[in-house]
Amino acid sequence: MNEILSIFFSSLVMFALIAISLYVYFFPTRIAFIRKHPSRNIIFWVNLLFGLTAFGWIITLIWAYSSKTKGEKTKKLEKEIEALNELNQKGIITEEEFNNRKNQLINNLLNL
């Protein structure tokens, strides 16, 4: 009976260690999917293939935490241009001021 309990608990410990190891190993991939990173599938494959090396794991972790996506920046730009357009239509700013500010915002996005 003691042998059966010993085998059961050693198997349970082994299963727990494997689960914890997989959790840590694929942590960068989880972060990428949670943050809806545009390269999350590529991050998964790099993590899977090179995650055992400390370098590969750290690179995928940094990549998963990388700055805002261009899509988010583009949406922000669209909202700012819409707000400027409303100001222009209400006569608060002139057409020239609207175009200058819009071009400035677009140039700032392209230079990032």
Q: Which ranges of 26-69 would DSSP assign to H, the alpha helix? A: 27-34, 40-50, 54-64
pLDDT of amino acid 107: 82
The predicted pLDDT at position 43 comes to 94
Rounded Cα gap, residues 46 and 26, in angstroms: 10
What's the pLDDT at 2? 79
Here the tokens at position 19 are 């689960």
pLDDT at 112: 55
User: Consecutive 10-residue runs of the chain (112 residues): their mean pLDDT?
Assistant: 84 94 95 90 94 92 79 80 91 90 82 62
Instruction: Tell me the whole-structure pTM to 2 decimals.
Output: 0.56
Give the DSSP letter of residue 7. Answer: H
pLDDT at 71: 66
* Token code pair at residue 107: 């140039």
* Site of tokens 């988010």: 72
